[in-house]
Structure 1
Amino acid sequence: MPRPAYLVPVGAVLICLALGACSGAEEPPAVTHRVIQGGAPGEAGEVLTQMPTIPDPEITADDVAFVRHMIVHHGQALQMTELVDERTGREDVPLFAERIRLSQEDEIRLMEEWLQTHRLSVLRIDDAGGGHGAHAVGEMPGMISEEQLAELAATDGEDFDRLFLRLMYAHHDGAVTMVEDLQQGNQGTDPVLWNLVVDIDSDQRIEMDRILQMQEQMGAGDRGAAESSGGGTGSD
């Protein structure tokens, strides 16, 4: 009785597997990956045997001082916004104060995280008295005095709104000055801090423009007072 065609002897199968000749296919060549670093215009790229080493971001003493003091600076702005709800005579001022509170609380959190990442202590407004580098609390641009804060707390209605906006404009302008001082000084290469500094500067300038608009709605008198007291176009 003839064997069915599909019954192939086991020995033949083993021989085929051993020789790799049944399918006629060859083993694919090993794939090598190369990393090529582009050259200057007109020059050939360079084949690298390993990825280039990227240096860790650098931070400077100025970076650290800026972050610590900006936390304190923002902290005083939050003290000012806490006075608004019980004293304002307008609907737009509380909304504006809430914007300041939310943006500056978020920036304070990011700055504290940055310090903790680098295992550095955090300087807060409650323990910021005395000299702390070039920007001791009393020397930080835009910081208001205890007397000015007490005067703000003692007013209400339209007088409060006008004084709040005038002091906050100067306060914001001081923060922008701190940003400019850092950018023109010895700032490191940490991209996280660079982005944070840009965001602070942008927020301050947007809020300063809003203050000028609100003052114009209240009467032209305070606009000139804000601009002369600030001396710039930034925010805290």
Structure 2
Amino acid sequence: MPQAPCKPVFALAVLTLATAVARAQSSSPVIVEPGAPGQPSKTLPADTRPSLPPASHADVEFMQGMIMHHSQAVEMTGLIASHTSNAALASLGAKISSSQSDEIRFMQRWLAARGQPISMAMPGMPEMDMDGNPMKPMPGMLTPAQMEALRAARGAQFDRLFLTGMIQHHNGALIMVKDLFNTAAAGQDADIFNFATDADNTQRAEIAIMQKMLEKLSPQKLSEVKQ
């Protein structure tokens, strides 16, 4: 009669395998730094963080300025719910607010990872830059007077002011992206290149949508706006 498998030996094998797997999972990851040509690689401590390439001054200013730029766009979209019943505008505003809020967080992380300040403004003095000079307005941003007019408007008047203002705002962002890529040694960072390219494509598409929305405003509504 054939003998039954030895259960203690089988159980011991399973236990040994489980222990090995647990040890492998709990062990610290190995970080290897490739050596220069002809030189051996080096094993680095597990808590070593990969170093980031130095950011150009233009890259940093672009990210700081775009945070300020996006923040005003989010502020503008925040007025929609209480200022108009236009469902199409509300849908567009929600999309702009969501995407630009996400991008603000991305830009803040990018700057923080490189030890750069989130804002280009002097702490406590938003009208002054870090060098003590007056802050230059970002291209396309609404003036205080335009923002006040937008806050005071309601209904069809708000719709038109919002659309014209956001088109102006988006066009300003396109200028910022163009200026970045026209600056020597700027926009070479992969994260910035991808972000700026995506922002350019997205805002061009949204400009086209807003232009069509403006065209659809009825003559009666347009006359209400002009009054």
TM range, smaller chain: 0.5 to 0.7
The runs of 5 or more residues in structure 2 that have no matched partner are 1-36, 42-50, 222-227
1:36-185 correspondence runs (5 A): 49=38, 57-123=53-119, 128-131=126-129, 137-185=135-183
- TM normalised by structure 2 equals 0.68
Residue aligned with 1:89, SS: coil
**Aligned residues, how many?**
171
Q: CA deviation at 1:89?
A: 3.3
Q: CA deviation at 1:50?
A: 6.1
Structure 1 residues 127, 75: CA separation in 2 closer, same or farther (over 3 Å shift)? farther
Structure 1 residues 84, 136: CA separation in 2 closer, same or farther (over 3 Å shift)? farther
Q: Which runs of 4+ in 1 moved over 3 A?
A: 48-52, 55-58, 124-128, 135-138
Q: 2:211 is matched by which residue type in structure 1? A: L
Structure 1 residues 56, 106: CA separation in 2 closer, same or farther (over 3 Å shift)? closer
The runs of 5 or more residues in structure 1 that have no matched partner are 1-47, 223-236
Q: Separation in 2 of the partners of 1:138 and 1:201?
A: 22
- TM normalised by structure 1 equals 0.65
Higher relative contact order (CA 8 A, sep 6+): 1
Q: 1:182 is matched by which residue type in structure 2? A: L
Structure 1 residues 51, 183: CA separation in 2 closer, same or farther (over 3 Å shift)? farther
Q: Percent identity?
A: 34
Deviations 1:124-160 (A, max 9, x none): 8996422468x96543110111111111010100010
C-alpha RMSD of the superposition? 2.8
Q: Separation in 1 of the partners of 2:125 and 2:99?
A: 22
